[in-house]
Amino acid sequence: MTERYTHGHDDAVLRSHGWRTAENSARYLLDVLEPGASVLDVGCGVGTITADLARAVGGGHVLGLDRSAEVVARAASTHRAANLRFDVGDVYDLDHPDGAFDVVHAHQVLQHLGDPVRALTELRRVCRPGGIVAVRDADFSAMSWWPAVPGLQEWREVYLQVARANGGEPDAGRHLLGWAERAGLEQLRWSASTWCFTSEEDRGWWSRTWADRITATDLADQAIELGVADRELLERCGDAWTSWASHPEGCFVVPHGEVIGRP
Ligand SMILES: C[S@@+](CC[C@H](N)C(=O)[O-])C[C@H]1O[C@@H](n2cnc3c(N)ncnc32)[C@H](O)[C@@H]1O
């Protein structure tokens, strides 16, 4: 299994991840999360969703885990609460006994993995019988936008190719139900939800993060290294993001699949 994290942890990436909240990215989980629950948030990144989950469970406790020591350190220094902890850990090999948590959550993680079913099987193992495993991932091929700036089609093509060359599945949202079934989870509930960017402010930051990511982060380096794009194509993709954002009718929809299952 070859697997490499497509986005890396450059500032443009972490800025974008830091916009996420439980409300805009884990509503389907908040609807069933009970106060007092113990929660494991795997692949927690900079931890904004994790910190919201800690607030939501009140007297419960939340552990955020990520493979990257760098983002774990950043999350731990940004979010402090008595019931919140961050640590380094790998989704394939969690250092916790069977059934250790009431709720196990992973947001935008499975799409980057070479073996999402093995990861889900490990998430199921550390969740108590009858508890909740909740996963949500974007679906890049289903993203849509207006106006139809041609360079954005090229951007998507570059992203899909790099993510797949890295062993991931960028259309993960539509695969979650099948993966969860194969991992042995039961009582599965699949739903979908979106991020929508249309105000001038939202278009501005969303386009800037992607313009930076496609021209100047690990994603750009990997695209060139893999022969998926040359510098000229990447600059065209970055310009397309700027052009899209300047359009007063601009809108962008990011669909996600989400699954709740029980061990
Ligand atoms: C797209 S980010 C999502 C971060 C966070 N869940 C959020 O939505 O803001 C994916 C995260 O998964 C982490 N990751 C990738 N592979 C992992 C693995 N095998 N085990 C644990 N974390 C992993 C990355 O380091 C990264 O921080």
Q: What is the pLDDT of residues 85-138, one digit of tens each?
A: 999 999 999 999 999 999 999 999 999 999 999 999 999 999 999 999 999 999
Q: DSSP letters along 169-196, please? A: -TTGGGGHHHHHHHTT-EEEEEEEEEEE
State the pLDDT confidence band at 1, using cuts at 50, 70 and 90.
low
Does 145 have pLDDT greater than 90?
Answer: yes
Instruction: Assess whether the C-beta atom of 125 lies below 6 angstroms from ligand 1.
Output: no
Bridge partners (DSSP) of residue 92 are none
Instruction: Assess whether the C-beta atom of 44 lies below 6 angstroms from ligand 1.
Output: yes
Which pLDDT belongs to residue 217?
A: 83
Q: Ligand 1, residues 62, 65, 67: which to mutate, most atoms within 8 A of Cβ?
A: 67
What's the token pair of residue 82? 């008595």
Q: Enumerate domains of the chain plus CATH numbers.
A: 11-262 (3.40.50.150)
Does 218 have pLDDT greater than 60?
Answer: yes
Distance 119 CA to ligand 1 centre (A): 12
φ/ψ (deg, to 5) at 197: -120, 115
Question: Model confidence over 55-78: pLDDT tens digits?
Answer: 999 999 999 999 999 999 999 999
Question: Model confidence over 204-216: pLDDT tens digits?
Answer: 999 999 999 999 8
Bridge partners (DSSP) of residue 174 are none
Distance 9 CA to ligand 1 centre (A): 10
Average pLDDT, the chain: 95
**CA-CA distance, 96 to 89, in Å (whole number)?**
10
User: First-to-last CA distance in the chain?
Assistant: 26
Question: Model confidence over 163-187: pLDDT tens digits?
Answer: 999 999 999 999 999 999 999 999 9
Instruction: Assess whether the C-beta atom of 238 lies below 6 angstroms from ligand 1.
Output: no
Question: Model confidence over 18-66: pLDDT tens digits?
Answer: 889 999 999 999 999 999 999 999 999 999 999 999 999 999 999 999 9
